[in-house]
Amino acid sequence: MWMRIAAALTVAGLAGLLVTCGGDVMAVVGDTGGGDAADTGSPTPTPTATVDASGGGPLPTQAIACAPGGATDFDSTCTVERADIDGARLLTVFHPDGGFRRFEQLADGSGLAVVAGADELTQTLNGDTLEIAIAGNRYRFPATTQ
């Protein structure tokens, strides 16, 4: 009998949460990760579109050429999202496997800096393309010279 009461309370609580959150809870509750043998049952975090600080909807994204994870060839499977936060221009690059890397565009126009992490960043400007290499990942950003 206690099991039925507990189950009923759980369902009622989830229904209330679903109504309160506008349905967003279902994606989290229903996703248990990949399902492989090493899966611990924890949800796999996936980046989602960020809402711009003015509340005007998701930030625009742009496809860029990248070679993530030590790939030798570049393709356009990465996307970059730009956001201005507290006077800083932040670029978040999303990899096709769900990973991401965050950079700050330097105010003096000299390139990008890593926002978090201790990995060394190398930058090469070739015409109107800035190539960034960091921790086995390479990215090509469109650039304008001044």
Whether residues 85 and 16 fall in one domain: no
What's the CA angle centered on 141, arms 106 and 128, to 5 degrees? Answer: 95
- Given this model, what pLDDT does residue 139 score? 96
Give me the domain span that covers residue 5.
1-31
Whether residues 87 and 27 fall in one domain: no
Whether residues 67 and 133 fall in one domain: yes
Distance CA 125, CA 146 (A): 13
Q: Which residues of the chain have pLDDT under 70?
A: 1-59, 146
Distance CA 20, CA 16 (A): 6
- Given this model, what pLDDT does residue 77 score? 93
Q: Provide the domain count of the chain.
A: 2
Distance CA 136, CA 1 (A): 57
- Given this model, what pLDDT does residue 44 score? 40
- Given this model, what pLDDT does residue 96 score? 93
- Neighbouring residues of 71: CB distance < 8 A, sequence distance ≥ 6: 138
Distance CA 51, CA 57 (A): 5
- Whether 40 is covered by a domain: the verdict is no
Coil, strand or helix at 122: strand
- Given this model, what pLDDT does residue 143 score? 87
Whether residues 25 and 97 fall in one domain: no
pTM for this model (two decimals): 0.60
- Whether 44 is covered by a domain: the verdict is no
- Whether 38 is covered by a domain: the verdict is no
DSSP 8-state code for residue 127: T
- Given this model, what pLDDT does residue 57 score? 56
- Whether 36 is covered by a domain: the verdict is no
- Sheet hosting strand 61-67, strand order edge to edge: 112-114, 100-105, 88-94, 75-85, 61-67, 137-142, 129-134, 121-126
- Whether 68 is covered by a domain: the verdict is yes
- Given this model, what pLDDT does residue 116 score? 85
- Given this model, what pLDDT does residue 58 score? 61
Distance CA 19, CA 35 (A): 28
Which run of H or of E encompasses 5?
helix 2-21
Rg (CA), the chain: 21
